[in-house]
A and B are shown apart, each in its own frame.
Chain A
Amino acid sequence: MTLVKTVEETLEEGLVLKVRGLDVRFYTYAGVVKAVSGVSFEVREKEFVALVGETGCGKTVTTRALTRLIDPPGRIVAGSVLFRRKNGTVVDLLKVPDEVLREIRGNEIAYIFQDPSSALDPLYTAGYHIVETLIAHNKKVKRSEAVREAIRLLKEVLIPHPEVRVKNYPHELSGGMRQRVVIATAVANKPKLLIADEPTTNLDVTVQAQILDLLKEVQSRYSMSVILITHNLGVVADVADRVYVMYAGKIVESADVFTIFEKPMHPYTRMLLRAVPNPLKKIEKLESIPGTVPNLINPPPGCRFHPRCPYAKNECMREEPPTIEVERGHYVSCWLYHRR
């Protein structure tokens, strides 16, 4: 692939994670699905980053690929994922041996999954999940200590009566409570990076707000970096520091959260923002983006957004748009802003 850029092997100070040219493909019977192509992004220390995009645009696959959680027929074809470990060393997560990766998973990079109802094993108690994670990464921890730590963590994620709840099975907990247990499990080893994959999608609106507040609070308490995957721009405005907008397996625009909302540049971002109801303005009709995400087996040539883009020019259909820094820290991949 021509998209793969040369890999820089240095990780600048202040960065936790630097992804360059990540390429993930799924080899299915129907053809090769180019789920993620040439994605590059970085996460700074203690930063709350949001990854935004429609369903099926590769957000989840991107984050799973970071710790090689891609199952066959999927394969990570190219790219580099530089990560600064707890002990200060910088490693490429796509190249380290499996044992090292296992040490990193759950200990330095932790995940929170979308569906709290199935993210806990129905056969084990809430406490067991936390204890298991603690012991998996620190063999010296005694069981009784681990249980005490589990109770402390449950208290920290604001579960009432943690001493009782620690013995409860998942079916005895409500959806919001389960998600709190999942968060407690994820932060049990104080990871440097927390990846939250649509943590609020299956919850009530009021519970959603609580969970987001909790995430924000936990982040500042443990001074973690967070990658939040969502398609809810309201959530983004609330918690994120910086935003990456993804479309059809590529990052089309990135900027800090104010810029994205004040001065969106990419036509896709603009349309996405117009599709969010604004409680301060009275609108007759909520807009939607015409069309659907293209089939990633045969993505459209040139800019992948051109079939749905109202500003599409001839260039857009022929050649991929370059990534341009329109102002400091605001990148956009679109021919509209390209000056020759």
Chain B
Amino acid sequence: MDVIYRALCFIIDLFTSFMERIRPGWIERNKSKIDEWKLMAYAYSKSPIAVTGGILATITVILALFGPLIAWEPYWQYKVVVNPDLWLKPPCLPPSCSGYPLLGTDEWGRDIFSLIFYGYRISFIISVMVVVLGVPLGVILGLIAGYKGGYVDEVIMRLTDIFMAFPGLVLAIAFATILPQRIRGLLDASPQLKDFLLWIFALRPQEYGQLAALLSIFLALVLVWWPTYARVVRGTVLSVREQTFIEAARSLGLSTWRILIKHILPNILSPIIVFATFDLATAVLLAASLSFLGLGPQDPVPELGFMISKAGRFFPERSWWIVVSLGIVLLLIAFGWNLLGDGLRDILDPRTRRAIEVRARAKARAKAAKVKGG
């Protein structure tokens, strides 16, 4: 735990000295902010849940970034054509067997372990894009609804009601079935966008037909995502704007946008961050379930949900290893983000942060006294 605290402090020091170099006097001006950051790092390193979540989330991010480079087998090579032996080969653990893939193969003879690395990238990109696009949309609408009130509030909130009246998955299915054609048209119109998207999903140019399916999942998720944020943000804005400092800001002649961006948004940011972290996990699972239902990409794209759904045809005797290993991957991603979100909730709330700090300090003092006495 101490290692983590030191590592985080090192990162903070690195950042502050960097800021100091660009703008001299920066450290001096932001002293209390930096102290608070270090305290956050301390509270973080003291929470086992947050640290576990952090480690899992870091693994996810690293695998998502470098996975396609690590993967030793191109996902588009169907080895079963050359070697029929590889058809749904069970896992091959070193002492008893060797020469075959560690986690077995799928019905095309591809190494499951290698496919996992591609799958990581695709799931991660979809979840990040859903959160990065869906959250700001919800936050902006929620801010406007909560602050303006009256008719504006009424219109935005009834719109969210319409979206929330449908179960999220059903609505996402509806969007995912209509969207692909339009997205394909859009992709045909701009090759740069197409190349960029293929690059971030780590797919071959040949797979560009599947791209529309992937994007439609992601757009469908964005469309069902924002209403929850709009609700949460509106609620917190309603309580923050009753504070005197908002009224004081208005009485000082600040513009509405300035009040929203500079005074209300920063005050409601920590619940949003926590919520978004949780939602990275939910988005991964929802994206997998959409492609499990066949709304996502098709062969040979190694999307986790789609591969599990394919394995279902041979389940359980000839494909249990596929379901188990890919299921564990999904679990690890979701688990990591959830734990991290849980930890962040404690750390971003100043009250629990202080409590963690006080408890840890007391423990350290007791330990020191024991060492002295012994």
Contacts and interface: CB of A to CB of B under 8 A. Distances in A.
Interface stretch (A103-111, A209-217, A279-287, A313-321): A103-111
Contact of B32 (A137, A172, A182): A172
A113 B253 contact: no
A69 B249 CA distance: 11
A132 B266 CA distance: 16
Interface in B245-282: 245, 247-255, 258, 262-263, 266-267
B82 to A, nearest CB: 63
Contact of B252 (A115, A122, A185): A185
B249 A121 contact: yes
Interface in A79-122: 102-107, 110-111, 113-115, 118-122
Given A105-B252, A106-B252, A123-B266, A69 B32 contact: no
B149 A72 contact: yes
Nearest to A108: B253
Interface string A105-148: 11100110111001111110000000011001100000000000
A115 B244 contact: yes
Contacts of B267: 121-123
Interface in B1-49: 29, 31-32
A71 B149 contact: yes
A167 interface: yes
B253 A107 contact: yes
Interface in B220-265: 243-245, 247-255, 258, 262-263
Contacts of B32: 167-169, 172
B250 A105 contact: yes
B191 interface: no
User: How big is chain B's contact interface, by range?
Assistant: 20 to 34
B250 A69 contact: yes
Contacts of B243: 118
Interface-centre pick from B150, B245, B250 (highest chain A CB count, 10 A): B245
Given A72-B149, A102-B253, A119 B248 contact: yes
Contacts of A69: 247, 250-251
User: How big is chain A's contact interface, by range?
Assistant: 20 to 34
B251 A105 contact: yes
Given A115-B244, A169-B32, A72 B150 contact: yes
A67 interface: yes
Nearest to A118: B244
Interface in A170-210: 172, 182, 185-186
A120 B249 CA distance: 9
Contacts of B252: 105-106, 110-111, 132-133, 136, 185-186
Interface-centre pick from B32, B149, B252 (highest chain A CB count, 10 A): B252
A133 B254 CA distance: 8
B247 A113 contact: yes
A133 B249 CA distance: 9
A140 to B, nearest CB: 16
A119 B253 CA distance: 15
A107 B255 CA distance: 13
B245 A119 contact: yes
A299 B267 CA distance: 40
A105 B251 CA distance: 6
A167 B247 CA distance: 23
A72 B253 CA distance: 19
Contacts of B149: 71-72
Interface string B148-168: 011000000000000000000
Contacts of A113: 244, 247-248, 251
Given A111-B248, A167-B32, A137 B263 contact: no
A118 B251 CA distance: 14
Contacts of B247: 69, 113
B245 A105 contact: no
A106 B243 CA distance: 18
B245 A67 contact: no
Contacts of B248: 111, 113, 119-120, 182, 185
A193 to B, nearest CB: 12
Nearest to A168: B32
A212 to B, nearest CB: 20
Interface-centre pick from B32, B248, B263, B267 (highest chain A CB count, 10 A): B248
B245 A121 contact: yes
Given A71-B149, A72-B149, A169-B32, A118 B245 contact: yes
13 contacts: A69-B251, A72-B149, A102-B254, A105-B253, A106-B253, A107-B253, A113-B244, A118-B243, A119-B245, A121-B263, A136-B258, A172-B32, A185-B248
Closest CB pairs A-B (n = 3): A106-B252, A106-B253, A105-B253
Given A102-B253, A119-B244, 11 more contacts: A110-B251, A114-B244, A118-B244, A120-B245, A122-B267, A123-B263, A123-B266, A132-B262, A136-B253, A136-B258, A185-B248
